[in-house]
Each structure stands twice: as C-alpha cells, then as structure tokens.
Chain A
C-alpha cells in the first residue's frame, strides 16, 4: 500500500492569486550606502550649498531662551542653552557634502567654559563670533554663578 500523499494541484490557483508586481529595488540598510556617479555627486553638492545659504532650519529649531551663533559660511554653529544642569552647548561642524559633527557638552562653571574657549579652533578663524560666544557664556554664568 502506498501511503505517499500526492500534492494536490489546483488549476485555479493562478487565477485566484494575483501575480505580484515587479518589486522595486530597496537598498540594504545594513550595508554602505549605494555610491553615486560623479554628475549626481556634483548636483547634490550644489543643492546642499544652495540649501545651506538659504536654509531657515535653525530658526525653526531654536527654542525660547536659546542662543544660536554661526560663522559667516554657516559651517560651524553654536547653540547655547542655560539649564538647571549648567550651560548646555551644542557645537555643529558641517560640510556641504561629507560629514557633520555635533558635539554636546555641559559647562558647570566659568572655569570649564574658559578652558574650552582657550582651545576652541574657531578663536582664530572667526574672532568676532568667538568673542560673542565668550560674552554669551560669561553672561549666563554671571547671572547665576
């Protein structure tokens, strides 16, 4: 006696189940990003430059009481926020295309703020902005030392 069970074939299956459409390709999320061609790269850089000069994103981001300072070309920005934890500073350094470095730190006293000021690279690149930054920081600590 043959106990093998033969597969049941239904001829109407193909008519009932709709044929899946051709799927669009999806980039694998856990692999490096798909490289772009040189033309596309140039276009992206151009758009990023234009967006950087006209963007009003910072205006949206700033909450009441925050101070945002930026250098002339907008590549370095400082967001200062006085909180009960100390003076929170978010330093953002960006390139039109490439990397963006955001550093967030809290200064608990003027001493640590001054120590940071003494080595911050912007002190040579944009003296005006840097002095403004120093004044803002000291003003925050002067109110509540």
Chain B
C-alpha cells in the first residue's frame, strides 16, 4: 500500500513540471499535469486520519491538493479539499491559508463580475474583505483606493509620455483632457468599480513646448497592471529597471502600498482588463502589515540597526522644496511636534492626502532626522 511518503513527492514532481509548462505558456499540458498531481496529493492527504496527531501534515497536504485543483481550474474540487482541510485540526496559519484560498476562489467568481461586461477601454477594480458586503462597502477603503489609483494612473501617463516628475500641482489640463478618467456605476459582488478611459480627443505633441511620445490609453493601463504585478510578485528589481526614474519609482511604491490590502477590512484588491477578447486579471494580496514586519526583520542583517518609531498624531505642516530630495511634515501628538522627512516622490500623492488628519507614521532614524517608512490613517479604536 502506498504511503504519504510515496505519493506526496511524486505529486510535487508533477506539480513542478506543471508550473514549468505554465511559465512556457503550455497551458493545456500544465493543466493535465496539475490534475495528475492532484490525484496523488489528494490520495496522500486522505491517508491521514482526522486527528490532532496527523497535523500539521494533514492540513498542509489538503492545502497543497486544493492549490493543485485551483491551478487546474477545478474550483469545485478545490472547495471540497479546503473543507476537508478545515475539518481537521489545522494550525492557525494553515487554517488562514485554506480560508485565503477559499477567498481566492470566491474572488475569481467575483472577478467574473456577473452582469458586468467590460469594454476594452474599461478597467475593473474590485475589493473584498470585512469592509465589503454585497453591494456595499465602507466608504474610506474604497475611496482611498480610487483616489490613489487615479494618482497612479496620471503618474503612469506622465512617465510614459516622458514628462519630468511633477513635484507639486496636478496634471496638466492637456493630459487630463487627453486621458480623461471616468468612474462608472458601482457593481455589487465583492465590490467593484470600473474606470473608463476616454479616447484622446486630440493627439498631444508638445508639453512645456517639448515633443512627447505618443501613448495609447490602453497601454497606460497595461503598464500599470504590469508594474503592479511585478511589485506583487516581489520583482522589485525588474520594476525599478522598467520605471527607470528614481522619483517615479519611489512614487509608484508609495502609492502601491496604499492600494494594497490592509488586513481584515480589505483582504484582496483585484483588477481586470479585457484585451483581444481575453481577460487579464491581477489580485493584490501583499498586506501592509507584512511589508512593515519585513522592514523590521530585515534589520537582522544590518550592523548598525536604525531606531524605528511610530508617531500617532495629527499631520500638520507639509513643506515640499522644489530642489531637495526630501519634504518635511510635522506630526503633532501629546508630547509635541515631531518632524519627519519624506522622500519627494511620496509627498504629493501619498502623504498630502492625509493633511490635517490623525495618522500613524512609521519612521526610521538616520543621524539627526527621522525618515518616513509608512503612513496610514489612524484606525478607530473599538
């Protein structure tokens, strides 16, 4: 009789082969291999009885089998395997991963967005979490993301047009006219809004009397999706090479962090476009909490560990010099006023939206100054 140790490594070998074929674009072959791997992994998982002694292997194997079913796009099987995994005694984090996978499957259904047909100039953003319910959402998580996506869209347009990074003010009227961004009626399910990009009314040839590249609105959205994908998958070095300009890169990372899920209220943020009749979707799962934790863990590698502090207070005074790499903000709390330096690429789109609001700012100390690492609106205390 086969043992877990016979079946599981074989399943993993097939899964590796399947992912390799998927990377090469051999989708049919990949799916066949995922199904073969699924059969072995499911058999391995089912060998373990429902008992505390079988853990964590039982739940890890069911999570693995459910992931294989998900990759083979057999979502019904994936749901059943998740239920098997949850029916035992999974450790907390495997239970969370099984639930996350269930959310992913649900989100796939949401992204199909029943009743919504996207045209090529439309772009869907969907959020999902405790802040959303069918047809409703808390205003703040949605509107913050709509606001940041709009900022990121125009920054991407300007970068692709070859326009110098704008430190203050909003995009030029010609750009806003040529790349009009509209928000369509909210759609229910997870909670989705679609952006619509107006067709350029006239081709722009000059900005600030300098010739510019011609950039189609669809290619702006495609670029944005590609950059978000690189960031989500941890390919920040490739992203940096793609964006080239340091301030645009800094700005992109700063805004992306604001769009990304923030824990339970928003667990997932998804995007979808249609190109040549094919759906392209992207789900952001990287959470801000994890990004902050990583910043602290990586300090193990630093000889001189910088001091990091969190300031909770009112954001006041924002100075944006035109010629220096950092702006300055003040955080006012019961102890007084704390000055924090902010990279120039984050001042306008990431920090200024919080002006005169209660914020939580994480800052690292270098020399005599504190430098911004993260900012978020203070959460209401229960």
- A and B: bona fide binding partners: no
**Interface residues in chain B, defined as those with a beta carbon under 8 Å from any beta carbon in chain A:** none
**Interface residues in chain A, defined as those with a beta carbon under 8 Å from any beta carbon in chain B:** none
